Structure 1
């Protein structure tokens, strides 16, 4: 996602980076490329959904890395609605300490990961919004899924047009 977000990727080797660039360019040429990307990125985090209450939001939010959805015109609708990335240790600690209860229809979505959260924070704050599009594209809500998929397709096309993507 860092590469698609327009950021430098320095944690993989040149051969892997070249293959990744090539794969992203091929996805951009395929009408179903955004759906392939959604499928390939499915295991980037363990998505845990909880019921949420107003009083929980501030405590949880300070531990989350939230991707900016405003570019996609899908800002959160409720103040207790949260969706963001968090490392597995912190998520487990918050779940126990706050007594979070899993609820498939809850408004608190934790994308629990073992990946370096500093990198995720960089992608979420300095990137072009592709991470938010990916998160939304994986939504069960048909409208959100459509918005995210179209945005991902646009990011893929933009990536393929960018001369730096050829390096």
Structure 2
């Protein structure tokens, strides 16, 4: 799970799971936990099909927190994420 506290967001509540998983393990995890697709569910898994070690090292960065927030269905969270991404890109330019 990315640390959205870095963006001034309060984070995730205790009954929500939100994170990244190695794409090679997604089927096993979904089947093992009995997960089913749901628009408003309390589990979000992002399957990653490239170097998962690299993903793990990036998850604690402000960039990943901003990306996660920028794709939120909550418009306020999405706005914070988009603003953070703009600021990050300005620094890199």
What's the TM-score once normalised by structure 1's chain length?
Answer: 0.52
Q: Which has the larger radius of gyration?
A: 1
Can you give the 5+ residue segments of structure 2 that lack an aligned partner in the other structure? none
Out of 141, 144, 159, the residue aligned to residue 74 of structure 2 is 141
Residues of 2 paired with 1:117 and 1:102: CA distance? 23
Matches within 5 A, 1:62-77: 66-74=1-9, 75-76=11-12
Residues of 2 paired with 1:139 and 1:154: CA distance? 18
Matches within 5 A, 1:7-22: none
Can you give the 5+ residue segments of structure 1 that lack an aligned partner in the other structure? 1-65, 161-167
Out of 75, 83, 93, the residue aligned to residue 150 of structure 1 is 83
Q: Which runs of 4+ in 1 moved over 2 A?
A: none
What's the TM-score once normalised by structure 2's chain length?
Answer: 0.90
Aligned length: 92
Match of residue 46 from structure 2: 111
> 1:113 Cα shift?
1.4
SS of match in other structure, 1:70: helix
Residues of 2 paired with 1:89 and 1:83: CA distance? 18
For the aligned residue pairs, the C-alpha RMSD in angstroms reads 1.2
